[in-house]
Structure formats: structure tokens, C-alpha cells
Amino acid sequence: MIIAYIDLVVFLVVLTFLSIVLGRYIALVFNGRVSYLSFIERPLYKLIGNTGEMKWGQYAKGIMLFNIIGIVFVFIFQLIQGALPLNPQHLGATTLDLALNTAISFVSNTNWQSYTPETTLSYLTQMLALAVQNFLSAATGVAVLIALIRGFVAVEKGTIGNVWEDLVKSTLYILLPLSLILGFALVKLGVPQNFNNYQDVQLINPQVVSVTVDGKTTTNRFTTQTIPMGPVASQEAIKMIGTNGGGFFNANSAHPYENPNAISNWLEMLAILLIPGSLCFAFGRMVGDKRQGYTLYAVMTIVFIILAIGVMLAEFNGNPAFYHLSIDGVMNLLQSGGNMEGKEVRFGVFGSGLFAAVTTAASCGAVNAMHDSLMPLGGLVPLFLMQLSEVIYGGVGSGLYGMLIFFAVLSVFIAGLMIGRTPEYLGKKIESFEMKMVALVILVVPLLVLLGTAISVVIAPGLVGMSNPSAHGLSEVLYAFTSAANNNGSAFAGLNANTPYYNLMLGFTIFVGRYGVIIPVLAIAGSLASKKRLNVTSGTMPTHGLLFIGILIGVIIIVGALTYVPALALGPIVEHLILFK
């Protein structure tokens, strides 16, 4: 267990150092002081034609137009892929409901996959439809965050920048360079990057499989295995850097072609949290007070450490149902130990547990182990991390604007009421309009999660997809709607979600969960940008330091607990207690 603690400390030290460096660079990018790709940037602005300052309504219309066009493009692309090149397996069109779900999912940075990629989508679809949206959906999150930051910085201005410039800068200067670096590293570590046909190879030990149906037994002998190929490394890189999560293969980052060894596993975890962490430091620089960024980063890291240790401990301790069977589950030189069900031996319980916490702290959804096979309390941790509205680092851009709106603004409002003073944050008064928008943001996601789960466990189309009964079956459905509404994309894969009901229901949840938050955030940004800045006085509550860290953590945990604990009690908590019967 000591090794796990050392690994966690080293991981966070490296993450923090790189985040500080990258945060400074991001601040320079959006302050207009980085232009080494201007030869690409300027022609794009001329093509777009609109580079003027925008009010929040114009900015929101631009975001929605850009994303809806993306949904239509990805939807149509899946239906015509059979007639397009780079399709060596001659894969045909997907069903309409699956195409719509996948389009909404990838454009919204969710990357929920209710299909098997290597047998469903061609190389061209994976690259031109999905991987491109991995860049653009991440750029959307960054753009919305930068607009919100401008709202805090601007003084009686009313505009929050230009959406097209922000999307271009996010893609060219941040996402593309980092993806190239990680992509080359993954190729070096053994991740494929080719356009070859799938390879049929001879098995060293032929396999004999017998299947009995209606009393009749059929025996088949298999001497070959089909090995999928494809441009994996390029998609894997932006999948992690952009906190997207959609895998090239069905096994996602548990597949050796996506995640070959412990080094690639560590790099991929680092890539997931790198931009979300760095945006905290970029925020501090852009608002002119680095302490604000340090405070937000500290809050995220403290909560993450507690929950990451929680999931690793749950998996290290193994299954209590095995205790009375005298099964040796202790880690030693001959075995990994702990709960190894659903995990890769090359990662073990600690590498898998930390990855589960990382990917659900961010809105990534990549997995290197089967979350459905986690111990009940181990599964509770990633579920709860998502239910905190994915603000513990969170997605690219979306994590920090979620933290600022969900909790920072809410915290200063609550604290202001307690001391009898008009709440303010970064010199801007938090008034009725901002709080109405905050309330809308706080309510929309839990409503989608809890109502969607409740409906699905009482109607026939929802029950058909459940492969497990009782508490675990409820956890599967609750996890699916939590993942969809918070734009994560990971799953308790025991749920069969590739049905018309779940494709359409989860697609709706994904869409509203993404844009039902973005629009109120931009409205708050516009409102703040039009206000004057207040001077700091002796009565101003400091929004940095240990006191505010404590208040912020308290609000995060309390809001999350009050909202979801009843549902969690009926799912993973009950399932944990059943193990001791």
C-alpha cells in the first residue's frame, strides 16, 4: 500500500508542476501574446469573417450553432460510412438511434459508447467524425471558460470576447500541440497508428468452444484470431488530452493497443488532468490574482486525494464475501492481490483504482478496468466524483467553469448571507440574476440523473437493459444517467445501453446536461462583464486561503451529499452491506 501512496504523491507533484507551466502558457495564449501559428490562424479568421466582440447571447448562439452543425455532420457520416473510403472491414451504416446518440455524445465531449467501435465504425468515421469532435468539443469547453473569466475581468463592458477566436486558439495552441506530443509518445510505447486491414493470426493453442442450445450441442474449433488495426495513437492522444474518453476499441484503455504498459497508463492519467489542472493557474493569472488559482487547485486536489485513496483501498481490501473461504487475497510477489476481477494484471488494483478516480474526476470516461466489477464502495467513488458535477478537476474548461459557478459563486453567496453583506466574488457583486442562473445550473443535472434513473427502473424498455438485479442493477442505471448528464462517458457496462430507449434517453440527457449548463454560465459571464468592479475593503470576504478552501469543500460535499445520498444508499451502499450477510 505504501507504493500506492508514493505513486499518488509523485503523480500529483508532476501534475502540479506541469499544470503551473502550462497554465502560464494558456494565459499568454488568451491574452494575445502567443502567435507562432498566426500563418494558420489569420486565414481562418478571414474565412469566418466575424472576429468582433460579442455579448453573451451572441456567444451562446455561436456555441450552439457550431455544436449543432457538428451533431448533424457526425450523425450523417455514420449513416453513409459504408460508401466512403478507409473502411477495410466494409462496415455499413449504424442504426438511426445509435447514430444520433453517438453524434450528440462526441460533440458534447461525453463520448458515451453503447457500441463496439472496432466492429461498428470505419477508420474514416473514427478519424474524421469522432477524433475531430474530440478536438472541437474540448475547445468548446475552454471557450466557455475563457468567456466566463472575461466576465470577471471586464468592467462595465458587456462583451465576453469572440467565440470563433476562442475556438481557434484553443485548438491550435493548446489541444493540437499537446496531442502531437502524447501521440508520438504512445506510438513509441507500442500503440498502433496505421491503416492496415485487420490481421488474422494463427493461435499457438487452438481453442475448442462448445455451445448448447435447446439441448443440442455445437462444437467449434478456432485456430485463428482477428487482430484489429487502425489509427489508434492519434485518437488516443486527444481522447486523453481533451478529457473525451471514447476508445478506438470496446475495451477502451484496458486494451493493450490503447494502453500497452504501466508507463503509458501513467502518461494517460497525467494527460487527462493536465489541462483541467493548468486552467486553474491560467485563471489566477488572467484575473490578476494567482492566489485564486492556487485556492481552486488546492480544493480540487484535496477532495481528489481523499476519494482516490478511498477507491484504491476498497479494491486493495478485496471482496469480503471471500473471507470465510480462506482465500489468500494478500498482495505478494506471486499475485496482485485485492479485487482483481475486471482488471488488467499489468496495472493491478492501485493502477486501476487511481485511473478510475482520475477519469471520473475529469469528465473523461476512459477506463482501464471494468467499473462494473469494482467493489461496491470502490464503484461508489467514481459515481460520487461525477455526481459532484465533475468539478474536481473536471473536463477541459467545463470543470473549472463548473467549480466557479456551482460552488465558488454559491459559497460566497452563502457566506455573504451569514455575515449580512452583499456577496461578491473577484470584485463583482453576486446578485439575484446570477443566483437564479446558478440555481438553474445546480438543479438541471440532478433532475436529469434522478428522474432518468427513476423512469428507467420502472418501465419495461429500461428494465430490459439491466443485466443485474437488485442494488447492483440500480447502480448500473444510476451510473449511466450520472455519466451522461455530467458528460463523462464511462459506464457500469453490465447495462445493455444499445437499445432505442437508452440511446434516445441518454442522448437527450447528454444534450441537456451539456448545454443546459453552458447557456446559464454564459449568461452569468455577460451579466458580470457589464458590472463595475468593487474595491476591496475590510468587509470583503477573502476568496483565497484556508478559510475559503474549507468553505468551498464543505459546500461541494454538502450539495453533493444532499442531492444523491438517498440514491447511493439504495445502490452501492446497500450492495456493500449485502456482502457481509
Using N-to-C axis directions, what is the helix angle for 376-387 and 290-316, rounded to 10°?
Answer: 160
pLDDT in tens, 295-312: 999 999 999 999 999 999
**413 and 556 share one domain:** yes
The distance from CA 161 to its chain's CA centroid, rounded to whole angstroms, is 26
Tell me the helices (H) and strands (E) count for the chain, helix number first.
Answer: 22, 4
For 172-184, the three-class secondary structure string (H helix, E strand, C coil) is HHHHHHHHHHHHH
Contact partners, residue 540, CB within 8 Å, separation at least 6: 424, 534
pLDDT band at 326 (very low <50, low <70, confident <90, very high): confident
Length of the chain: 581
Q: Tell me the pLDDT of the chain averaged across its residues.
A: 91
Contact partners, residue 515, CB within 8 Å, separation at least 6: 64, 67, 108
Instruction: Write out the H or E segment, with its range, that includes residue 550.
Output: helix 546-568
**109 and 217 share one domain:** no
**Number of domains observed in the structure of the chain:** 2
* Burial readout 391-410 (b: 16 or more C-beta within 10 A, e: otherwise): bbbbbbbbbbbbbbbbbbbb
Instruction: Write out the H or E segment, with its range, that includes residue 359.
Output: helix 348-361
Predicted pLDDT at 62: 96
Class of residue 299 by CB neighbours under 10 A (exposed 0-12, middle 13-18, buried 19+): buried
Q: What three-state secondary structure class fits 281?
A: helix
**268 and 356 share one domain:** yes
Torsions phi, psi for 231 (to 5 deg):
-80, 75
**204 and 276 share one domain:** no
pLDDT in tens, 217-249: 888 888 898 899 999 999 999 999 999 988 999
For 189-207, the three-class secondary structure string (H helix, E strand, C coil) is HCCCECCCCCEEEEEEEEE
**478 and 362 share one domain:** yes
Report which residue type is found at 420.
G
Q: What three-state secondary structure class fits 394?
A: coil
pTM of the full structure: 0.93
**219 and 300 share one domain:** no
pLDDT in tens, 468-493: 888 999 999 999 999 999 999 999 98
Number of other CB atoms surrounding residue 32 within 10 Å: 9
- Give the Cα separation of 200 and 192 in Å (integer): 16
**244 and 316 share one domain:** yes
Question: Given a cut of 90, is residue 13 above it in pLDDT?
Answer: yes
- Name which of 146-160, 206-220, 523-537, 566-580 the model is least confident about: 206-220
Q: What is the DSSP letter of 343?
A: B
Torsion of CA 533, 535, 541, 543, to 10 degrees: 60
**223 and 211 share one domain:** yes
Q: What is the DSSP letter of 468?
A: S
pLDDT in tens, 512-527: 999 999 999 999 999 9
- Give the Cα separation of 385 and 401 in Å (integer): 16
Residue with cell 473461504: 325
Task: Please say whether the dihedral angle defined by the alpha carbons of residues 467, 471, 477 and 480, taken in this order, is positive or negative.
Answer: negative
Contact partners, residue 512, CB within 8 Å, separation at least 6: 444, 448, 485
**216 and 184 share one domain:** no
Q: Which residues pair with 465 in a beta bridge?
A: none
Pairing of strands 424-425, 428-429: antiparallel
Mark out the alpha helices in 372-499 (DSSP H runs): 376-387, 398-402, 410-419, 432-456, 460-464, 470-485
Q: Which of 178, 206, 229 is the last residue of a domain?
A: 229
Predicted pLDDT at 71: 97
Report which residue type is found at 150.
R
pLDDT band at 558 (very low <50, low <70, confident <90, very high): confident
Pairing of strands 216-227, 199-213: antiparallel
pLDDT in tens, 273-298: 999 999 999 999 999 999 999 999 99
Identify the CA nearest to 279 among candidates 29, 508, 558, 35: 29
**218 and 353 share one domain:** no
Question: Given a cut of 90, is residue 538 above it in pLDDT?
Answer: no
Q: What three-state secondary structure class fits 436?
A: helix
Question: Given a cut of 90, is residue 210 above it in pLDDT?
Answer: no
- Give the Cα separation of 382 and 478 in Å (integer): 12
Greatest mean pLDDT among 220-229, 343-352, 503-512, 544-553 lies in 503-512
Question: Given a cut of 80, is residue 581 above it in pLDDT?
Answer: no
Predicted pLDDT at 355: 95
- Give the Cα separation of 573 and 471 in Å (integer): 9
**235 and 214 share one domain:** no
pLDDT in tens, 144-191: 999 999 999 999 888 999 999 999 999 999 999 999 999 999 999 999
- Give the Cα separation of 57 and 347 in Å (integer): 47
Helix, strand, coil: what percent of the chain each, to 5?
Answer: 65, 5, 30
Question: Given a cut of 80, is residue 392 above it in pLDDT?
Answer: yes
**224 and 354 share one domain:** no
Q: Which of 205, 229, 253 is the last residue of a domain?
A: 229
Predicted pLDDT at 370: 92
301 is in which domain, residue-wise?
Answer: 2-195+230-578
Q: What three-state secondary structure class fits 227?
A: strand
Residues 461, 185 contacting (CB under 8 angstroms): no
> Residues 260-280: what's their mean pLDDT?
96
Torsions phi, psi for 484 (to 5 deg):
-70, -50
What's the first-to-final CA gap in the chain, in angstroms?
28
Q: Which residues pair with 219 in a beta bridge?
A: 210
Q: Which of 206, 229, 252 is the last residue of a domain?
A: 229
Q: Which residues pair with 202 in a beta bridge?
A: 224
Question: Given a cut of 90, is residue 540 above it in pLDDT?
Answer: no
pLDDT band at 562 (very low <50, low <70, confident <90, very high): confident
- Give the Cα separation of 132 and 242 in Å (integer): 11
